[in-house]
Protein backbone atom coordinates (compact mmCIF):
# COMPACT_ATOMS: atom_id res chain seq x y z
CA UNK A 1 0.00 0.00 0.00
CA UNK A 2 1.23 3.49 -0.83
CA UNK A 3 2.40 5.38 2.23
CA UNK A 4 -0.21 7.99 3.14
CA UNK A 5 0.78 10.93 5.27
CA UNK A 6 -1.22 10.99 8.50
CA UNK A 7 -2.62 14.45 7.71
CA UNK A 8 -4.32 13.02 4.60
CA UNK A 9 -6.50 10.60 6.60
CA UNK A 10 -9.15 13.20 7.44
CA UNK A 11 -9.12 14.32 3.82
CA UNK A 12 -9.75 10.76 2.63
CA UNK A 13 -12.84 10.65 4.85
CA UNK A 14 -14.16 13.85 3.25
CA UNK A 15 -13.56 12.36 -0.21
CA UNK A 16 -14.81 8.87 0.63
CA UNK A 17 -17.50 7.12 -1.45
CA UNK A 18 -21.01 8.13 -0.46
CA UNK A 19 -20.07 11.77 0.19
CA UNK A 20 -21.36 14.65 -1.93
CA UNK A 21 -17.81 15.68 -2.78
CA UNK A 22 -16.77 12.21 -4.00
CA UNK A 23 -19.93 11.84 -6.10
CA UNK A 24 -19.06 15.11 -7.84
CA UNK A 25 -15.47 14.00 -8.46
CA UNK A 26 -16.66 10.68 -9.90
CA UNK A 27 -19.01 12.55 -12.27
CA UNK A 28 -16.09 14.64 -13.53
CA UNK A 29 -13.96 11.52 -13.89
CA UNK A 30 -16.57 9.67 -15.94
CA UNK A 31 -17.11 12.70 -18.18
CA UNK A 32 -13.33 12.93 -18.78
CA UNK A 33 -13.41 16.72 -18.59
CA UNK A 34 -10.64 17.03 -16.01
CA UNK A 35 -10.68 19.52 -13.18
CA UNK A 36 -8.74 21.57 -10.64
CA UNK A 37 -10.31 22.14 -7.22
CA UNK A 38 -8.97 24.09 -4.24
CA UNK A 39 -10.54 23.48 -0.83
CA UNK A 40 -9.80 26.62 1.18
CA UNK A 41 -11.07 30.15 1.62
CA UNK A 42 -8.02 31.36 3.51
CA UNK A 43 -6.43 34.65 2.55
CA UNK A 44 -3.21 33.09 1.20
CA UNK A 45 -5.29 30.99 -1.21
CA UNK A 46 -7.60 33.79 -2.28
CA UNK A 47 -4.54 35.90 -3.10
CA UNK A 48 -3.68 33.35 -5.79
CA UNK A 49 -7.15 33.43 -7.38
CA UNK A 50 -7.45 35.62 -10.47
CA UNK A 51 -10.61 36.33 -12.50
CA UNK A 52 -13.30 33.63 -12.56
CA UNK A 53 -16.94 33.74 -11.53
CA UNK A 54 -18.12 34.15 -7.96
CA UNK A 55 -20.68 31.43 -7.27
CA UNK A 56 -21.49 31.30 -3.52
CA UNK A 57 -23.66 28.17 -3.82
CA UNK A 58 -23.89 24.94 -1.79
CA UNK A 59 -21.77 22.09 -3.12
CA UNK A 60 -23.61 19.39 -5.04
CA UNK A 61 -22.38 16.68 -7.43
CA UNK A 62 -24.25 18.23 -10.36
CA UNK A 63 -22.87 21.75 -9.73
CA UNK A 64 -19.31 20.46 -9.38
CA UNK A 65 -19.62 18.48 -12.61
CA UNK A 66 -21.09 21.33 -14.63
CA UNK A 67 -18.58 23.91 -13.40
CA UNK A 68 -15.67 21.57 -14.14
CA UNK A 69 -16.54 21.80 -17.84
CA UNK A 70 -14.88 25.23 -17.81
CA UNK A 71 -11.09 25.34 -18.00
CA UNK A 72 -10.39 27.24 -14.79
CA UNK A 73 -10.18 26.11 -11.19
CA UNK A 74 -13.06 25.66 -8.75
CA UNK A 75 -12.60 27.09 -5.26
CA UNK A 76 -14.55 25.63 -2.32
CA UNK A 77 -14.71 26.86 1.27
CA UNK A 78 -12.63 25.28 4.04
CA UNK A 79 -15.31 22.69 4.92
CA UNK A 80 -15.96 21.73 1.28
CA UNK A 81 -19.62 22.61 1.69
CA UNK A 82 -19.93 25.66 -0.61
CA UNK A 83 -18.61 26.61 -4.04
CA UNK A 84 -17.03 30.08 -3.96
CA UNK A 85 -15.48 30.53 -7.42
CA UNK A 86 -15.47 28.75 -10.75
CA UNK A 87 -13.35 29.14 -13.91
CA UNK A 88 -10.72 30.87 -11.76
CA UNK A 89 -7.12 31.25 -12.77
CA UNK A 90 -4.60 30.24 -10.09
CA UNK A 91 -1.24 32.01 -10.09
CA UNK A 92 1.13 30.28 -7.63
CA UNK A 93 4.76 31.26 -7.15
CA UNK A 94 6.62 29.80 -10.18
CA UNK A 95 9.73 29.24 -8.05
CA UNK A 96 7.90 26.63 -5.93
CA UNK A 97 9.26 23.23 -6.97
CA UNK A 98 6.97 20.75 -8.70
CA UNK A 99 7.65 17.22 -9.89
CA UNK A 100 4.57 17.22 -12.14
CA UNK A 101 4.65 17.76 -15.91
CA UNK A 102 1.08 18.69 -16.88
CA UNK A 103 -0.02 22.30 -16.41
CA UNK A 104 -3.03 21.40 -14.24
CA UNK A 105 -1.10 19.08 -11.91
CA UNK A 106 1.90 21.39 -11.74
CA UNK A 107 -0.38 24.25 -10.66
CA UNK A 108 -2.13 22.03 -8.12
CA UNK A 109 1.13 20.90 -6.53
CA UNK A 110 2.54 24.42 -6.37
CA UNK A 111 -0.62 25.86 -4.80
CA UNK A 112 -0.66 23.05 -2.20
CA UNK A 113 3.00 23.52 -1.32
CA UNK A 114 2.76 27.29 -1.21
CA UNK A 115 -0.37 27.46 0.95
CA UNK A 116 -0.40 24.09 2.74
CA UNK A 117 -4.06 23.67 1.71
CA UNK A 118 -5.92 20.85 -0.06
CA UNK A 119 -5.85 20.90 -3.86
CA UNK A 120 -7.34 18.20 -6.12
CA UNK A 121 -6.38 17.62 -9.75
CA UNK A 122 -8.47 15.36 -11.99
CA UNK A 123 -6.62 14.12 -15.06
CA UNK A 124 -8.57 14.31 -18.30
CA UNK A 125 -6.50 11.74 -20.20
CA UNK A 126 -5.46 9.31 -17.43
CA UNK A 127 -8.78 9.40 -15.53
CA UNK A 128 -7.20 9.62 -12.07
CA UNK A 129 -7.80 11.87 -9.07
CA UNK A 130 -4.67 13.24 -7.38
CA UNK A 131 -4.77 14.86 -3.94
CA UNK A 132 -2.18 17.42 -2.85
CA UNK A 133 -1.86 18.69 0.72
CA UNK A 134 1.25 20.66 1.55
CA UNK A 135 4.14 18.47 0.38
CA UNK A 136 2.01 15.29 0.42
CA UNK A 137 0.59 13.66 -2.68
CA UNK A 138 -1.83 10.76 -2.96
CA UNK A 139 -3.72 9.21 -5.87
CA UNK A 140 -7.29 8.07 -5.18
CA UNK A 141 -7.61 4.54 -6.48
CA UNK A 142 -10.68 2.87 -7.92
CA UNK A 143 -12.91 1.59 -5.10
CA UNK A 144 -12.80 -1.96 -6.43
CA UNK A 145 -9.01 -1.95 -6.27
CA UNK A 146 -9.04 -0.58 -2.72
CA UNK A 147 -11.58 -3.23 -1.65
CA UNK A 148 -9.37 -6.01 -3.00
CA UNK A 149 -6.36 -4.61 -1.13
CA UNK A 150 -8.39 -4.20 2.06
CA UNK A 151 -9.64 -7.79 1.92
CA UNK A 152 -6.10 -9.06 1.36
CA UNK A 153 -4.94 -7.03 4.37
CA UNK A 154 -7.76 -8.51 6.48
CA UNK A 155 -6.64 -12.02 5.53
CA UNK A 156 -3.08 -11.14 6.52
CA UNK A 157 -4.33 -9.72 9.81
CA UNK A 158 -6.23 -12.94 10.57
CA UNK A 159 -2.98 -14.90 10.26
CA UNK A 160 -1.04 -12.46 12.41
CA UNK A 161 -3.81 -12.44 15.05
CA UNK A 162 -3.67 -16.23 15.21
CA UNK A 163 0.11 -16.13 15.74
CA UNK A 164 -0.31 -13.40 18.37
CA UNK A 165 -2.92 -15.42 20.30
CA UNK A 166 -0.69 -18.52 20.28
CA UNK A 167 2.33 -16.54 21.51
CA UNK A 168 0.23 -14.94 24.24
CA UNK A 169 -1.13 -18.31 25.40
CA UNK A 170 2.39 -19.73 25.52
CA UNK A 171 3.60 -16.74 27.55
CA UNK A 172 0.72 -17.08 30.01
CA UNK A 173 1.58 -20.75 30.58
CA UNK A 174 5.23 -19.86 31.15
CA UNK A 175 4.21 -17.15 33.61
CA UNK A 176 2.28 -19.68 35.72
CA UNK A 177 5.26 -22.03 35.57
CA UNK A 178 7.71 -19.20 36.37
CA UNK A 179 9.83 -20.01 33.30
CA UNK A 180 9.62 -16.75 31.35
CA UNK A 181 12.68 -15.40 29.55
CA UNK A 182 13.07 -11.94 28.09
CA UNK A 183 12.99 -13.51 24.63
CA UNK A 184 9.46 -14.84 25.29
CA UNK A 185 8.29 -11.37 26.33
CA UNK A 186 9.75 -9.38 23.44
CA UNK A 187 8.46 -11.99 20.97
CA UNK A 188 4.88 -11.35 22.12
CA UNK A 189 5.44 -7.58 22.01
CA UNK A 190 6.77 -8.02 18.48
CA UNK A 191 3.60 -9.91 17.50
CA UNK A 192 1.50 -7.18 19.14
CA UNK A 193 3.19 -4.48 17.08
CA UNK A 194 2.77 -6.43 13.86
CA UNK A 195 -0.97 -6.68 14.46
CA UNK A 196 -1.22 -2.96 15.31
CA UNK A 197 0.76 -1.98 12.20
CA UNK A 198 -1.59 -3.94 9.95
CA UNK A 199 -4.53 -2.36 11.80
CA UNK A 200 -3.25 1.11 10.92
CA UNK A 201 -2.88 0.17 7.26
CA UNK A 202 -6.43 -1.20 7.12
CA UNK A 203 -7.77 1.94 8.82
CA UNK A 204 -6.34 3.96 5.93
CA UNK A 205 -8.19 1.73 3.48
CA UNK A 206 -11.40 2.17 5.50
CA UNK A 207 -11.00 5.97 5.37
CA UNK A 208 -10.65 5.75 1.60
CA UNK A 209 -13.58 3.34 1.21
CA UNK A 210 -16.11 5.44 3.15
CA UNK A 211 -19.55 3.83 3.13
CA UNK A 212 -18.13 0.90 1.14
CA UNK A 213 -15.85 -0.05 4.03
CA UNK A 214 -18.47 -0.97 6.66
CA UNK A 215 -17.86 -4.71 6.54
CA UNK A 216 -14.09 -4.27 6.53
CA UNK A 217 -14.41 -2.05 9.61
CA UNK A 218 -16.52 -4.65 11.44
CA UNK A 219 -13.98 -7.38 10.66
CA UNK A 220 -11.11 -5.15 11.79
CA UNK A 221 -12.76 -4.31 15.11
CA UNK A 222 -13.27 -8.00 15.84
CA UNK A 223 -9.74 -9.01 14.87
CA UNK A 224 -7.93 -6.36 16.92
CA UNK A 225 -10.13 -6.46 20.01
CA UNK A 226 -8.02 -6.35 23.21
CA UNK A 227 -4.69 -6.45 21.32
CA UNK A 228 -3.67 -2.95 22.33
CA UNK A 229 -4.82 -3.49 25.93
CA UNK A 230 -2.86 -6.76 26.16
CA UNK A 231 0.22 -4.99 24.81
CA UNK A 232 0.02 -2.18 27.37
CA UNK A 233 -0.46 -4.61 30.28
CA UNK A 234 2.38 -6.77 28.99
CA UNK A 235 4.76 -3.80 28.92
CA UNK A 236 3.56 -2.77 32.38
CA UNK A 237 4.39 -6.28 33.61
CA UNK A 238 7.95 -6.36 32.32
CA UNK A 239 9.26 -2.83 31.80
CA UNK A 240 12.49 -2.22 33.67
CA UNK A 241 12.37 -0.11 36.81
CA UNK A 242 15.67 1.46 35.75
CA UNK A 243 14.01 3.48 32.99
CA UNK A 244 13.44 7.17 33.63
CA UNK A 245 9.92 8.07 34.70
CA UNK A 246 9.04 9.74 31.36
CA UNK A 247 10.20 6.68 29.43
CA UNK A 248 8.45 4.11 31.62
CA UNK A 249 4.87 4.89 30.63
CA UNK A 250 3.57 1.65 29.00
CA UNK A 251 1.26 3.49 26.60
CA UNK A 252 4.07 5.76 25.43
CA UNK A 253 6.41 2.80 24.95
CA UNK A 254 3.77 1.04 22.84
CA UNK A 255 3.18 4.18 20.75
CA UNK A 256 6.92 4.60 20.20
CA UNK A 257 7.24 0.99 19.08
CA UNK A 258 4.32 1.39 16.66
CA UNK A 259 6.21 4.22 14.95
CA UNK A 260 9.23 1.99 14.34
CA UNK A 261 9.98 0.60 10.89
CA UNK A 262 9.22 -3.04 10.10
CA UNK A 263 12.94 -3.88 10.19
CA UNK A 264 13.29 -2.45 13.70
CA UNK A 265 10.27 -4.39 14.94
CA UNK A 266 11.72 -7.64 13.58
CA UNK A 267 14.83 -7.21 15.74
CA UNK A 268 14.17 -8.57 19.24
CA UNK A 269 17.20 -6.81 20.75
CA UNK A 270 15.84 -3.34 19.90
CA UNK A 271 12.56 -4.17 21.64
CA UNK A 272 14.37 -5.37 24.76
CA UNK A 273 16.29 -2.08 24.84
CA UNK A 274 13.00 -0.18 24.62
CA UNK A 275 11.89 -2.03 27.76
CA UNK A 276 15.04 -0.91 29.56
CA UNK A 277 17.09 -4.11 29.27
CA UNK A 278 20.44 -4.72 27.64
CA UNK A 279 20.34 -5.08 23.88
CA UNK A 280 22.83 -7.96 23.86
CA UNK A 281 21.97 -11.41 22.54
CA UNK A 282 22.63 -12.98 25.96
CA UNK A 283 20.12 -10.64 27.61
CA UNK A 284 17.28 -12.37 25.73
CA UNK A 285 17.98 -15.56 27.69
CA UNK A 286 17.63 -13.71 30.99
CA UNK A 287 14.84 -15.00 33.26
CA UNK A 288 12.22 -12.37 34.09
CA UNK A 289 9.12 -12.33 36.28
CA UNK A 290 5.84 -10.53 35.51
CA UNK A 291 4.40 -8.10 38.00
CA UNK A 292 0.98 -9.67 37.37
CA UNK A 293 -1.11 -6.90 35.80
CA UNK A 294 -2.05 -8.82 32.65
CA UNK A 295 -3.00 -12.13 34.26
CA UNK A 296 -4.86 -10.48 37.14
CA UNK A 297 -6.82 -8.37 34.65
CA UNK A 298 -8.36 -11.59 33.31
CA UNK A 299 -10.06 -12.37 36.63
CA UNK A 300 -13.72 -11.24 36.40
CA UNK A 301 -14.90 -8.23 38.42
CA UNK A 302 -11.43 -7.36 39.69
CA UNK A 303 -10.96 -3.57 39.38
CA UNK A 304 -7.63 -2.12 38.28
CA UNK A 305 -7.09 -0.24 41.59
CA UNK A 306 -7.30 -3.56 43.43
CA UNK A 307 -4.85 -5.14 40.99
CA UNK A 308 -2.45 -2.25 41.58
CA UNK A 309 -2.72 -2.81 45.33
CA UNK A 310 -1.97 -6.51 44.85
CA UNK A 311 1.10 -5.83 42.71
CA UNK A 312 2.37 -3.19 45.12
CA UNK A 313 1.93 -5.57 48.06
CA UNK A 314 3.32 -8.79 46.56
CA UNK A 315 5.58 -7.29 43.83
CA UNK A 316 5.23 -10.15 41.31
CA UNK A 317 2.76 -12.71 39.97
CA UNK A 318 4.36 -15.76 41.59
CA UNK A 319 4.02 -14.20 45.04
CA UNK A 320 0.34 -13.49 44.34
CA UNK A 321 -0.21 -17.09 43.17
CA UNK A 322 1.47 -18.53 46.27
CA UNK A 323 -0.38 -16.22 48.67
CA UNK A 324 -3.02 -17.75 50.92
CA UNK A 325 -6.58 -16.44 51.18
CA UNK A 326 -5.68 -14.77 54.50
CA UNK A 327 -2.63 -13.08 52.95
CA UNK A 328 -4.72 -11.82 50.06
CA UNK A 329 -7.34 -10.61 52.51
CA UNK A 330 -4.73 -8.35 54.14
CA UNK A 331 -4.40 -6.28 50.94
CA UNK A 332 -6.33 -3.02 50.85
CA UNK A 333 -9.61 -3.40 48.94
CA UNK A 334 -9.73 -7.20 49.19
CA UNK A 335 -12.08 -8.97 51.59
CA UNK A 336 -12.37 -12.68 52.27
CA UNK A 337 -14.88 -13.26 49.46
CA UNK A 338 -12.76 -11.43 46.88
CA UNK A 339 -9.59 -13.17 48.11
CA UNK A 340 -11.23 -16.57 47.53
CA UNK A 341 -12.44 -15.40 44.10
CA UNK A 342 -8.86 -14.43 43.20
CA UNK A 343 -7.52 -17.85 44.23
CA UNK A 344 -10.25 -19.63 42.26
CA UNK A 345 -9.80 -17.34 39.27
CA UNK A 346 -6.04 -17.91 39.12
CA UNK A 347 -6.56 -21.67 39.35
CA UNK A 348 -9.05 -21.63 36.46
CA UNK A 349 -6.79 -19.42 34.35
CA UNK A 350 -3.82 -21.69 34.95
CA UNK A 351 -5.76 -24.80 33.94
CA UNK A 352 -7.14 -23.05 30.86
CA UNK A 353 -3.84 -21.70 29.49
CA UNK A 354 -2.03 -24.99 30.08
CA UNK A 355 -4.80 -26.76 28.19
CA UNK A 356 -4.85 -24.17 25.37
CA UNK A 357 -1.09 -24.44 24.90
CA UNK A 358 -1.42 -28.09 23.92
CA UNK A 359 -4.46 -27.72 21.64
User: Is residue 3 a part of any domain in this protein?
Assistant: no
User: Among residues of the chain, what percentage have pLDDT more than 90?
Assistant: 68
* pLDDT range class, residue 247, cuts 50, 70, 90: low
Mean pLDDT, the chain, rounded, equals 91
Say if residue 148 is in the same domain as residue 134. Answer: no
Q: Are strands 49-50 and 35-39 parallel, antiparallel or unpaired?
A: unpaired
215 in a labelled binding site = no
Residues 162 and 279 in one domain: yes
Rounded average pLDDT over 232-252: 84
Count up the domains in the chain and report the number. 3
Last residue of a domain, one of 115, 140, 165: 140
Question: Is 358 labelled a binding residue?
Answer: no
Confidence band for 212, pLDDT divided at 50, 70 and 90: confident
Q: Is 97 labelled a binding residue?
A: no
- Determine the pLDDT at residue 28: 93
Instruction: Please report the pLDDT score of residue 1 as a whole number.
Output: 36
Q: Given pLDDT bands bounded at 50, 70 and 90, which one contains residue 4?
A: very low
Cα 111 to Cα 10: distance, rounded to the nearest angstrom:
20
Max Cα–Cα distance, the chain, nearest Å: 84
Containing domain of residue 338, as a range? 291-358
* Model confidence pLDDT, tens digit, residues 71-96: 899 999 999 999 999 999 999 999 99
At 3, the pLDDT band (50, 70, 90 cuts) reads: very low
Question: Is 104 annotated as belonging to a binding site?
Answer: yes
Average pLDDT of the residues in 183-210: 93
pLDDT tens for each residue of 227-236: 999 999 999 9
Window from 6-15, 175-184, 250-259 with minimum mean pLDDT: 6-15
- Residue 72 annotated as part of some ligand binding site: yes
Last residue of a domain, one of 140, 157, 176: 140
Q: Which CATH number belongs to the domain containing residue 323 in this structure?
A: 1.10.150.20
Q: Which of 7-21, 116-130, 280-294 has the lowest mean pLDDT?
A: 7-21
- Give the pLDDT band (50/70/90) at residue 341: very high
Distance CA 322, CA 67 (A): 76
Q: Residue 93's domain is classified under what CATH number?
A: 3.40.1700.10
The reply to whether 304 falls in a domain is yes
Q: What is the pLDDT of residue 140?
A: 87
Residue 157, pLDDT > 70, answer yes
211 contacts 180 by C-beta, under 8 angstroms:
no
Q: What percent of the chain has pLDDT over 70?
A: 96
pLDDT interval class at 41 (50, 70, 90): very high
**21-29 average pLDDT score:** 92
Residue 256's domain is classified under what CATH number?
1.20.1260.110
Residue 1 belongs to a domain: no
The answer to the question of whether 107 is labelled as a binding residue is: yes
Same structural domain, 284 and 170 = yes
The pLDDT, as a whole number, for residue 289 is 94
**Tens digit of pLDDT for each residue in 275-307?**
999 877 788 999 999 999 999 999 999 999 999
Is residue 2 one of the residues assigned to a domain? no
| Residue 190: pLDDT over 80 | yes
Mean pLDDT, range 167-179, rounded to an integer: 95
282/329 same-domain check: no
Q: Are residues 177 and 113 in the same domain?
A: no
Say which residue, 315 or 244, is predicted with more confidence: 315
Quick check: 2 pLDDT over 50?
A: no
**Residue 179 φ/ψ, nearest 5 degrees:** -125, 25
Q: Is residue 222 part of a domain?
A: yes
- Would you say residue 224 lies in a domain? yes
Amino acid sequence: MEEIDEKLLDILKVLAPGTVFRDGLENILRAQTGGLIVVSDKEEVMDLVNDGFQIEAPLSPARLYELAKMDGAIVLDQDAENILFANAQLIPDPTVKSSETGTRHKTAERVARQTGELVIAISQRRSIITIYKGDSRHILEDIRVVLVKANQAIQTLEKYRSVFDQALTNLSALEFEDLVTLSDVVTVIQRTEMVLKIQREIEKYISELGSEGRLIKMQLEELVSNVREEGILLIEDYISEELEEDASDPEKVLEDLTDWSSDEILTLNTISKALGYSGSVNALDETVSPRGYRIMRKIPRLPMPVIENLVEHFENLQAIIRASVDELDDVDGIGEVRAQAIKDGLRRLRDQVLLDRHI
